[in-house]
Amino acid sequence: MLKILFDHMHGWARVSFFLAPIAIMGEALLDLQQPTLMARIVDVGLARKDMTYVWQTAILMAVIAVAAFALGAICNAFSSYAALKMGQNLRSHMLAIALAIAIRKR
């Protein structure tokens, strides 16, 4: 099955095929940092009544959320491009096979 996929993926489609999982792993890792940062706000910032630390960590959380959103969008773009190009190449190959069979039957 993977051989069929790789035979019909060339150029940027193949690169996109490998970059999409990397982007989604980056998104997951960033999303996993959110609970840790929230715990630090409660354990460190609120325990010491240090509102500067709370605001800095909250801003960091917002930046991480935006970065995770961007990585998710990038993952969707990469995976969609790879799927569309692979489908296009596969359909072209299947059409060539169908035409070759039709020509042989004449």
Report the distance separating Cα 10 and Cα 87, nearest Å.
Answer: 12
pLDDT tens for the chain, residues 1 to 106: 677 777 777 788 888 989 999 999 999 999 999 999 999 999 999 999 999 999 999 999 999 999 999 999 999 999 999 889 888 888 888 898 899 998 888 7
Helix (H, G, I), strand (E, B) or coil at 1: coil
The answer to whether the predicted template modeling score (pTM) of the entire model surpasses 0.95 is no
From residue 43, alpha-carbon distances to 33, 46, 57, 75 in Å are 15, 6, 12, 34
